[in-house]
Amino acid sequence: MASSSKTSGPAASASTSSAPSSSALSFKQRPWVRWGAPLLLLVGLAVLPLVMTESTNDTLARIGVFAVAVLGLNVVMGYTGQVSLGQIFFLGLGAYVTAYGVSQEWNIVLVFALTCLIPAVAGLVVALAAARLGGLAIAMVTVALPIVGVPLAKRLSDYTGGSQGLSARFVEAPEGSGLYDDQWQLYIVLVVGGIVFLLTSLLVRGKYGRAFAIVKGNENVASSMGISPYRYKVLAFTIASLIGGVSGFLYMVVVQYTSPETMSFGHSIELLVAMVIGGAGSIVGSILGGAFYVVVPDITNAIDPSLTALLQGALLLAVLFVLPGGLVSLPRAVMRGLRRSTAGRGSAAPPTTPSPTAGSGSATENPETERQGHV
Amino acid sequence: MEKFVQLVVDGLSTGSVYAALALAIVLVHSATGLINFAQGGMAVLAAYFAWWLTNQGLPLIVAILLSIVFSFVLGAAVERWLMRRFERGDPDTAIVVTVGLLTLITGIAGWLWSYNNQQFESLFPLDTVSFLGVSVSVRSIGTTLVIVAAMILLQLLFVRTKLGLALRAVAINPQSAAFSGLPVGRLLMVGWGLAAVLGAVAGALVAPRLTLTPGMLDNALVYALAAVILGGLTSPFGVVIAAWLIGVLENLAAVYVPFIGFDLKVAVPFILIFVVLLVRPQGLFGRKTVVRV
């Protein structure tokens, strides 16, 4: 692919991207950048676990886990516009299924399949009922999932270990690989998470993604176009639950312990906060959201643990006021602000949405930044 | 039988608390078309305010009345300075804003007064009285009566006063209301303030039993939302009935259904919702809304 793009690349990339048909390609659209950058990122991610310290690897792995969880939330909320306050429940469910399967010494492939299947079925059942009402009902019903989930997990103590929780150590670096456990765990998160991100980004850009976007935009328009809002809401919620289940599997890979506290109401809200702050409806935003979810409590706990919720709430409101697109839209907002201030002094050029020709160095084009995200 | 009556009376009292929160949610929804997930959080903040005042030496009833005034101002301020910007936009974004507000309020309460449980004095004595031959707790009856009184007052305000007429006009059609000279913005602030007052009353009445924590009303919020779904967003009457139904049923289920017990009774309203949603999606008493493209 990379070699053939030497000749056919410019035409192909010019036709697939929204670039103007001028022959002068910007820096980002040159073929070696288009193929080279993701490759570089891939190599970087492959080397990264080997050179980082153990605690950095652990933090990165946890970021990966919650990036996947936020991605699931993004499918139902960012892309389909249905507020879900229950995503953490599916992470917890996936974690419990994994822990139980491991404790029964089932084949790990079977365990993984179940951690996809069981949360997806649970999500399907919830969505079938919740999506029957208008858009707000999904929020009102899903808020119950963590609140019912915690006592339910405590009650089903035969399977969940009750309040004690379950621990499962099943991820050890294979002998002879020369890897430490933390490096191996990070690799698993990178590979599984990477596949989930790749598949999801294909999904939201394809036929289903467009249907989700129409359901988000206007349900009546959607149904007049023959797109059943009900069906697509259920579908989006089911996929989000499935991805949540996968994040639960990864959670067990990294944390190796789960308890009812994993799916508490507070965590569920934190996940939503992380998604909005990272950037709703964005693949890169999901990664930023995962980073926010993991890093901010780490920082605030070091200062004063009682400040965490205060800070998260204040940050969420601040982002909604000044940067509704989340952190992922920050470069674009900054560029727009810069351009407006220069335009204000010079000619009266109206502020427009950034076009690829505006600046070769600006990392503003969404598809381009997203492309790097899922490698 | 005696146990059954006690359970029903206790259920009605917790149901009244849910009803007050649910009515507050319906009030906000009818005025601004959004669901306020911070309704419980605002009530908790009011309860903390009252608790702090009693610690300063004020008598409980004065502290509660002051906290009611406080929450009216809080509700109006939240509408004016926070929600106003998001009211005409995407309702889902507005929901996220209220979730952010809930997080912020929980954070403020936890930061100022710690996440530990605080004892909140009860307005009513912990005695029991004989009622139709069975003894029931004074606190349950008192809670129910106070909230029913608050709801009747609110209903009178809406039906009998000019302010209530204006509030209803804004709720039905803000644009026409503005054309006929009503100060829509200020009326919305009043609507949010009244909703916050209802929440504050519920919070002060339920705080002694739950003990005061920043997340005290998280569960109650879930019940209130369940009542809103069951009763239908358009029917205040239906919401109150649904809240009482939930309160009584969850109490009965906790005692008479062994698997549910006290820890899982929060699942009861959702089993109800599942059944109702599959049979009557608009809620027990709600109307089907028809939207034009």
Domain presence at residue B277? no
Domain presence at residue B246? no
* Spatial distance between the Cα atoms of B121 and B124, rounded to a whole number of angstroms: 9
pLDDT beyond 50 at A360: no
- Per-residue pLDDT at B283: 64
Domain presence at residue A179? yes
- Per-residue pLDDT at A354: 41
Whether residue B263 and residue A314 make contact (CB cut-off 8 A), yes or no, is: no
- Per-residue pLDDT at A8: 41
Domain presence at residue A195? yes
Interface of B with A in 221-250 (CB under 8 A): 221-222, 225-226, 228-229
Q: What's the whole-number mean pLDDT along residues B254-264?
A: 82
Range from A29-38, A366-375, B192-201 carrying the lowest mean pLDDT: A366-375
Please tell me which of the candidates A81, A224, A306 has its beta carbon nearest to residue B293: A224
What secondary structure, in 3-state letters, does chain A show? CCCCHHHHHHHHHHHHCCCCCCCCCCHHHCHHHHHHHHHHHHHHHHHHHHHCCHHHHHHHHHHHHHHHHHHHHHHHHHHCCCCCCCHHHHHHHHHHHHHHHHHCCCCHHHHHHHHHHHHHHHHHHHHHHHCCCCHHHHHHHHCHHHHHHHHHHHHCHHHHCHHHCEECCCCCCCCCCCCCHHHHHHHHHHHHHHHHHHHHHHHHHCHHHHHHHHHHHCHHHHHHCCCCHHHHHHHHHHHHHHHHHHHHHHHHHHCCEECHHHHCHHHHHHHHHHHHHHCCCCHHHHHHHHHHHHHHHHHHHHHCHHHHHHHHHHHHHHHHHHCCCCHHHHHHHHHHHHHHHHHHHCCCCCCCCCCCCCCCCCCCCHHHHHHHHCC
Please tell me which of the candidates B95, B100, B270 has its beta carbon nearest to residue A136: B95
The residue segments making up the domain with residue B111 are: 2-215
Domain presence at residue B272? no
Range from A23-27, A35-39, A274-278, B66-70 carrying the lowest mean pLDDT: A23-27
Whether residue B218 and residue A224 make contact (CB cut-off 8 A), yes or no, is: no
- Per-residue pLDDT at A369: 38
- Per-residue pLDDT at B90: 79
- Per-residue pLDDT at B291: 53
- Per-residue pLDDT at B32: 82
Interface of B with A in 96-135 (CB under 8 A): 96-97, 99-108, 110-111, 114-115
- Per-residue pLDDT at A198: 93
Number of structural domains chain B divides into: 1
Domain presence at residue A83? yes
Residues of chain B with C-beta less than 8 angstroms from the C-beta of A144: 222, 225-226, 266, 269-270
Out of A48-52, A334-338, B88-92, the most confident range is A334-338
pLDDT beyond 80 at A350: no
The DSSP output letter for B129 is E
Smallest CA–CA distance, residue A124 to chain B, in Å, is 13
Domain presence at residue B247? no
- Per-residue pLDDT at B290: 56
Whether residue B97 and residue A154 make contact (CB cut-off 8 A), yes or no, is: no
Residues of chain A with C-beta less than 8 angstroms from the C-beta of B100: 273, 276, 313, 316-317, 320
The residue segments making up the domain with residue A194 are: 61-264
Which of these, A319, A347, A344, A345, lies nearest to A333 by C-alpha position? A319
Smallest CA–CA distance, residue A293 to chain B, in Å, is 14
- Per-residue pLDDT at B282: 66
B185 touches chain A (CB under 8 A): no
**Scanning every residue of chain B, which has its alpha carbon at the shortest distance from the alpha carbon of A316?**
B100
Domain presence at residue B31? yes
Domain presence at residue A24? no
Whether residue B225 and residue A317 make contact (CB cut-off 8 A), yes or no, is: no
Q: What's the whole-number mean pLDDT along residues A245-268?
A: 92
pLDDT beyond 80 at A325: yes
pLDDT beyond 60 at B99: yes
Whether residue A317 and residue B263 make contact (CB cut-off 8 A), yes or no, is: no
- The pLDDT tens digits for A109-118 are 999 999 999 9
pLDDT grade for A247, boundaries at 50, 70 and 90: very high
pLDDT beyond 60 at A119: yes
Domain presence at residue A373? no
Domain presence at residue A315? no
Instruction: Choose, out of B103, B105, B228, the residue to mutate when testing the contact with A (most A CBs < 10 Å).
Output: B103
Q: What's the whole-number mean pLDDT along residues A123-135?
A: 82
Smallest CA–CA distance, residue A339 to chain B, in Å, is 26
pLDDT grade for A131, boundaries at 50, 70 and 90: confident
Domain presence at residue B131? yes
Residues of chain A with C-beta less than 8 angstroms from the C-beta of B111: 306-307, 309-310
Number of structural domains chain A divides into: 1
Range from A177-186, A260-269, B215-224 carrying the lowest mean pLDDT: A177-186
Q: What's the whole-number mean pLDDT along residues B76-93?
A: 87
User: Would you say A69 and A290 are in contact if contact means Cβ atoms under 8 Å apart?
Assistant: yes
* Spatial distance between the Cα atoms of A284 and A289, rounded to a whole number of angstroms: 9
B289 touches chain A (CB under 8 A): yes
Interface of B with A in 68-97 (CB under 8 A): 82, 85-86, 90-93, 95-97
Q: What's the whole-number mean pLDDT along residues A152-168?
A: 87
Q: What's the whole-number mean pLDDT along residues B226-245?
A: 87
Residues of chain B with C-beta less than 8 angstroms from the C-beta of A148: 264, 266-267, 270
Domain presence at residue B288? no
pLDDT grade for B269, boundaries at 50, 70 and 90: confident
Domain presence at residue A306? no
**Scanning every residue of chain B, which has its alpha carbon at the shortest distance from the alpha carbon of A222?**
B293
**Scanning every residue of chain A, which has its alpha carbon at the shortest distance from the alpha carbon of B113?**
A306
Domain presence at residue B287? no
Out of A92-96, A177-181, A218-222, A331-335, the most confident range is A92-96
**Scanning every residue of chain A, which has its alpha carbon at the shortest distance from the alpha carbon of B276?**
A129
